[in-house]
Amino acid sequence: MTSDGAFDFTVIGSGPGGYVAAIRAAQLGLRAAVVEMAPLPGGTCLHSGCIPTKALLQAAETLDGAHEAARFGVTIPSADVDLPSLNAYKERIVQSNAKGIQYLLKKNGITAFAGRGRVAAPGRVEVTRPDAPPAIIETRAIVLATGSTVRALPGIEFDGDRIISSDDAVAMARLPASIVVLGAGAVGVEFASIYASFGAQVTLVELLPRLLPLEDADLGAELEKAFRARKIAVHTNTRVEEVDLDGDGVRITASTDGEPLGLAAETLLVAVGRAPRTDDLGLDGAGVRLKDGFVEVDEMMQTAQPGIYAIGDIVNTPMLAHVASHEGIVAAEHAAGSPPQPLNYDKVPSCTYCAPEVASVGLSEEEARRRGHDVAVGSFPFSAIGKAKILNDTRGFVKIVSDKQYDEVLGVHIIGAHATELIAEASAALSLEATAESLFHAVHAHPTLAEALAEAAMASHGRAIHI
């Protein structure tokens, strides 16, 4: 076993939490290192999650646009999916981003170690390398940023063909004629949207009463309406009881509100969430505590063992890349002795890139009421917005939840075209503790989709103009 010198700050994992933490530490003058067992940096988000999935969604949107081109007076004789070209496009984006991260690590003087990292002891990281003896890194601070893995269901085994995970779906080895998607969270509805655009017969199954169960209830209801209009079959309140391979496909035995339901398709995609990757990290002897599989941390992202931090999907906070990045910054600043700003998880935006898109930030109407707020709600449909008509996509609405006493905006919920871009204004508004009145006094350019935010804010005061 060899020693690879002393560092101030060593990160295990180079996903959007890990590499950002290392860069921030380097900016603060710490000697930083990153340990990564994959061939390239970027983690799940870059290689099998956010980035390739959104590339597939962009391809799906482009295909849908081609099919609708005649509405704009544009003639396109035919449009279809060229799977090899689609995968090449997706891979170019992934490789370009990975090389960009490599450049950023090098630019900031961060040492990269190839291999599997684990905590040997507080202040020591062991790196198991494929073509060299194990190495020990002496380090003042350790950051665990190992991410998550797809969650399986007991009795349903992935085979990569007829029963697949989101990792398999991203690879896009083939396009099934029919698919059942189990789970209507962000991953499930995104892939349901992709496969429907690519021509598959799609059935979406969810155990809970609505799609996107973590979002405001009105968003889930509107998305179900939009999906049904796209010929996506939706079964909520549905429990899958048995899955059998049947010839070249899959047969599913389920029940909806106690009534039997049988489903059959070429492929079953299981998208029921992700599990933290904490196995074989050496945590048992390091003074790091786990709860329900997640690493316990304080608001500075520090574990029970001083000098050991955890960020991203292995802590029990929203499993979002931008959350991991900000948690990495908090950990780096705390380790460097620079006063960090802890995350306010109530003000973290959530984006789902299906068609139509869904985005939110802040409290849902239900949660705001549960916390005791006297709630005012303003809602405004995109059907009354000129730019939405220009785009030929008038689905959805903007909903603003505010506190009646102080008029403070508590939450903004959007479903419709470009919702995932529009939510940035709402995030800034909540960060600045904006009131609904200040939001509608901010002049919104015409014609834009963003006018719906101003109108929804006005609607919360009973003053919407264009409806």
Active site residues: 446
**Contact in structure between 226 and 357 (CB atoms under 8 Å):** no
For residue 69, count other CB atoms closer than 10 A to its CB.
Answer: 13
Q: Which two tokens stand for residue 191?
A: 């892939």
**Contact in structure between 350 and 214 (CB atoms under 8 Å):** yes
Tell me the angle at which helices 18-27 and 321-335 cross, rounded to the nearest 10 degrees. Answer: 30
Query: Residue 79 in 3-state DSSP?
Result: coil
Rg over alpha carbons for the chain, rounded to the nearest Å, is 24
Phi and psi at residue 283, to the nearest 5°: -80, -25
- How many Å apart are CA 205 and CA 1, to the nearest integer? 51
Instruction: Locate all alpha helices (DSSP H) within 75-148, ordered by sequence.
Output: 83-107
- How many Å apart are CA 21 and CA 335, to the nearest integer? 10
Please name every residue paired with 238 in a beta bridge, in sequence order, or none if there are none.
256
Please name every residue paired with 264 in a beta bridge, in sequence order, or none if there are none.
251
**Could you identify the residue written with the tokens 């349901």?**
192
**Could you identify the residue written with the tokens 């990757």?**
277
Render 385-431 in DSSP notation, one character per residue: -HHHHHHT----EEEEEEETTT-BEEEEEEEETTHHHHHHHHHHHHH
Residues contacting 310, CB < 8 A, separation 6+: 143, 144, 145, 288, 295, 297, 301, 303
Phi and psi at residue 352, to the nearest 5°: -125, 125
